[in-house]
Structures are given as C-alpha cells and as structure tokens.
Amino acid sequence: MNRLPLRVACFVLQGLLVSGGLLTFDAMLTANEYLDSRFPQFEPELRALLAQHCVVRPLKAGEKMLQTGQYFRSTMLVAEGRAKLYREGEEGGEFFMYYLEPGQACALSMVCSDRQQSSEVMAVAEEDTVVLLLPLDLMDDLMRQFRSWYYFVIETYRSRYEELLVVIDHVIFKGMDERLEFYLKNQYDKLQKRDLSITHQQIANDLNTSREVISRLLKKMEQQGRLVLHRNYIEWRG
C-alpha cells in the first residue's frame, strides 16, 4: 500500500515507463537504491556496506530461489516482487507457508554459522522479483557493528516464527473450509485485488489437498454469496 508512491518515485527518477504496473527488468534499480527504499531502517553506513558487497539478482516469475536440501551460499533480502515459501513433503506434496515481501528476508538464510546449513524449505518467485544476495561470512561483522542489523535479524526470525504458529493453528484446529477462507483472505490482503487469478488446482496444492475438495468448498462459499467463481479467477467479496 504505502510502497507504491516510493516505487513510482524511483521509476520517475530513472525516467522509465513501466507497463501495466509490473516491474520490468529494464527498470531494475541499483543495490543502493533498493537498500535506501526498502531498508530505510538501516544506518547509512550499513546500507553503504551492504551495497558494496551484495549482488542484485533478478528472478523471473516462477523461478526458484531456494531448493529443499540446497546449501545456503548467501543471505537473501527481498527488494522487489514476492517470494513464496513452501514446505515439501518427503513423498511429494507441498504446503504453502507464507510470502516474503520487499523489505523482508529469508530467516533461514541468516544464520551466521560456519557449518554449512542446508535449506529446509522451497522458495519460488511468485512474480518477477529482485533479491539482494549477501555473502554469509559478512553476517558476523554486521551483527557486531550494526544495531539495526541485529534488530532486523531478530525481527525476521520472530515474525517468521509467528507466521509458522498461525499456520500450525490452522492446520491443527481448523477444518479445510476455514483454511480455504483464510487462504483467500490472505491472498486478497496481500494483493489488494478483488479478482484473485488462481486456479482451484493451485489452491489445492498450496493447502495440500485435492482440487475436488477445493471446488466443492468454493461452490459452497459462492452459494453463501462470499465470492463469485469465474474461469481462472475468483472474485472475492471480503
């Protein structure tokens, strides 16, 4: 919501025309610009240091950021777009956990340990996304030198932990109907669009259930006037 003016300002600054409001990679900013706009809470010296060491990495929608079992090479900060984090089951199946948005970071990639740490989750760019990659061996110094950095790390862990708590709550205490409703509401809140372009199959994947179950529940919600079903999208009435 409050990100849009800023984004527009940056584009204007560069004198670029962006089609349909979507980020095109031509419009990519520099590390410095991303840090200033997305991570304003960092001290200027910290931003300068990060800019010096980070790699700006654009990802196309659908591209994988992180694979289960993959070793971390760097800390990832999300600068633009949206990353979807989900857990994979050993025998197939997946389960959506939460999104990472601009200004947030992947908690698991922030451990400042020597031992190689492998990822327990999958992350994929849901739209065209830009991430800043920071070498892991920088973490220790940042932690020691910059107060805003360790606040950021702690806050990242805390908020991701609490997201997981909410997820657990739903899975344990709620039925599929409530989980579906929460899922749709969540989508609506994030995107701020009444038309959610998503198929029943995609929802079923995210909730780790089958399409038929979702179709039936959606139909029931439609009959209650809580939404309208269309091909390839769902019209949400919050």
Contact residues: its own copies, CB under 8 A: 87, 89-91, 93, 95, 97, 107-108, 110-112, 120-121, 143-144, 147, 150-151, 153-155, 157-158, 160-162, 164-165, 167-169, 171-173, 208
User: Which residue of 5, 210, 226, 235 would you call a contact of DNA, by CB under 7 A?
Assistant: 210
Give yes or no for residue 216 binding DNA (CB under 7 A): yes
Tell whether residue 231 is a contact of DNA (CB under 7 A): yes
- Measured distance CA(159)–CA(218) in Å, rounded: 30
Q: What does the alpha-carbon distance between residue 204 and residue 44 come to, in Å, rounded to a whole number?
A: 44
Q: Rounded distance, CA 109 to CA 124, Å?
A: 15
In the complex, what is the shortest distance from the CB of residue 104 to its own copies, in angstroms, rounded to a whole number? Answer: 15
Closest by alpha carbon to 163, among 121, 224, 221?
121
Smallest gap from Cβ 205 to DNA, in A, equals: 11
- Whether the Cβ atoms of residue 132 and residue 109 lie closer than 8 Å to each other: no
Distance CA 54, CA 134 (A): 5
From 6, 10, 143, 176, residue interacting with DNA (rule: CB under 7 A): 176
Interacting residue with DNA among 38, 84, 160, 200 (CB under 7 A): 200
Select the binding partner of residue 220 from its own copies, DNA, none (C-beta < 5 to 8 A, by kind): none
Based on the shown chain and the rule CB under 7 A, indicate whether residue 199 belongs to the binding site for DNA: yes
Beta strands in the chain (DSSP E): 55-59, 64-66, 74-80, 83-88, 94-100, 122-125, 129-135, 195-196, 227-230, 233-236
Asked if 64 touches DNA (CB under 7 A), the answer is no
Closer Cβ to its own copies, 84 or 160, answer by number? 160
For residue 62, state whether it binds DNA (rule: CB under 7 A): no
